[in-house]
Structure 1
Amino acid sequence: MKVNDRYCSFYYELDEDYGEIVIDGSRTALLIVDMQYHFLTRPDTSGMSEREKAYYARWEYFYDRVDNEVIPNNARLLSAFRERKMLVAHARITGQLANGRDRSLDQKATGYNELLLLDGNPAGEIVAPLAPRENELVVRKTTDSALTGTSLRLMLHNCGIDTVVVTGVLTDQCVSGTVRSLADESFKVWLVEDACGASTREIQEHELSVLNNIYCHVVSTDELIAAL
């Protein structure tokens, strides 16, 4: 079943079975993934080499979207869920061991994914506009998936949740891993296209097409809020 014609991959071009966006507020949670300062803050390139500056210049699409779409739309969704007293959950990358031994293999990789964020590091905090409030779930993970390395699946189950609205960064990494894990655990998943972000437009659109209509349904912030 599809709910729109956007981000429709080859696999689902012939699927003519359309449905509506239906949300049962008592059984639906909002899950915001890794909206932490480390990922969302433009780096200071003043002391970098020309090669490094050229590399980070390619991230301008991402940082512009974060500032102008992703954070504002997450804030809108948070407000909508809070007003309706629906369950809100936050996932953040936070290691416990100073040497990083507790991290999964992908977070020990070299390059962009090599990451060690520990408690007390301001870079690991969730950005202020989306800061968790009292009575919201917050899970710390050392994996891409917010389910694999935490007790989130159990907590969602205990709360009677069978549907999860997912947002956050990066679409092709931790968001994708989380969406796939949720689908594998038989949760219904709605991925909000303008409340998540990847490094480039090409990666963003490709990943949405890969995930859509099998692991989740990709919808906009306006569509999701209207369905509430």
Structure 2
Amino acid sequence: MVPPAATRHLTRDALYQPGETALLLVDMQKAFLNPPTEKPGAFNFGPYFYEHTSAVTVPNAVKVLKAARENGVEVLHTTIQSLTEDGRDRSLDHKLGGIHVGPTDPDADPVEPLAPKGDEIVIKKTSSGVFNSTNIDYILRNIGIKYLVIAGILTDQCVDMAVRDAADRGYFVTCISDACAAPTRERHEGALSAFGGYCWTTDSDTMAFTKNFIQEHLINVNHITPPVLEQLKGINLRQIYRMIDATNDGLVTPFEQWLQQLGLIPDYVRILENHLSIVL
């Protein structure tokens, strides 16, 4: 089926635009990520979850957060936190599930490596879906956001709802798979596999390599001179992907020809592919 002309150019992995992109960190808070305690009402997602989030999820989220801040991307944090001490303002699901983080509970705050800085926006919610129980859509539209990058927990619950609801509201959504987590690997992978056309699913390494990628990672290649770096710094990494010969058939693409004309090493594209382990 041929798509209508009005939508033929649209794609979930559209290039990000300056000033129109935001990073949304979902519920990366102490109440859920710190190891379980004997405190009444404390959460316990099991050994796998705490080992995985400590070793993989949080470090990858930190990597993406750092890249976002360095490139002027708007950063928003959501936390599950009631407005009332007894939690009467919570959603029915949270009441039935016993999910309650009080308004003065310090465990409502994001974990220290992901703590908000400056005037980064923190949105408190009392349901799984941030678009259903907060004014985040209003906030994003006021800021001018069209591209939403999402990471957080739990992949198959609050992250899942954020991805789908954002897509339904017309945002171009990206989910950072290795900066998300669920109580089990199966639940995490099941959620990711079900996202389908709702979002572009990628990893933290791909997202963290921003416009400074070439300068930071290939600065020691003798053929790359400062003037060349200046020409390359403005290239979005996804533009590079699209210009690479995806078939790997040995043919020289126009992009590779351009790189060679600039004095870059002939196997430059191969370095990019190997370094990022990207399957094109």
Same fold per TM (> 0.5)?
yes
* 2:119 alignment partner in structure 1: 135
Query: Offset of 1:25 from its aligned partner?
Result: 3.1
Please say which structure displays the higher CA radius of gyration: 2
* 2:138 alignment partner in structure 1: 154
Question: How much is the aligned-residue C-alpha RMSD, in angstroms?
Answer: 2.0
Query: Offset of 1:227 from its aligned partner?
Result: 5.3
- Which amino acid counterpart does residue 41 of structure 1 have in structure 2? N
Contact 2:13/2:174 (<8 A) preserved: no
Distance 2:192 2:151 in 1: 12
Q: Count residues in correspondence.
A: 197
* 2:29 alignment partner in structure 1: 36
Displaced runs of 4 or more, over 3 A: 18-21
Contact 1:21/1:227 (<8 A) preserved: no
Change (3 A) 1:202 1:93: same
* 2:205 alignment partner in structure 1: 222
Q: 3-state DSSP class of the match of 1:90?
A: strand
Distance 1:176 1:39 in 2: 17
- Which amino acid counterpart does residue 75 of structure 1 have in structure 2? V
Contact 1:22/1:227 (<8 A) preserved: no
Alignment map for 1:66-215 (pairs within 5 Å): 66-110=53-97, 114-211=98-195, 213-215=196-198
In structure 1, runs of 5+ residues without a counterpart are 1-17, 48-55
Distance 2:210 2:12 in 1: 13
Identity %: 37
Distance 2:37 2:138 in 1: 40
Q: TM-score, normalised by structure 1?
A: 0.81
From 14, 17, 20, the equivalent of 1:24 is 17
In structure 2, runs of 5+ residues without a counterpart are 1-10, 212-280
Distance 1:214 1:108 in 2: 32
Higher relative contact order, chain-length normalized (CA < 8 Å, sep 6+): 1
- Per-residue CA shift, 1:68-121, capped at 9, x if unaligned? 1111111111111111111000000111122212111111123xxx21111221
- Which amino acid counterpart does residue 36 of structure 2 have in structure 1? P
Q: TM-score, normalised by structure 2?
A: 0.66
Distance 1:210 1:117 in 2: 29
Distance 1:59 1:218 in 2: 26
Distance 2:18 2:61 in 1: 17
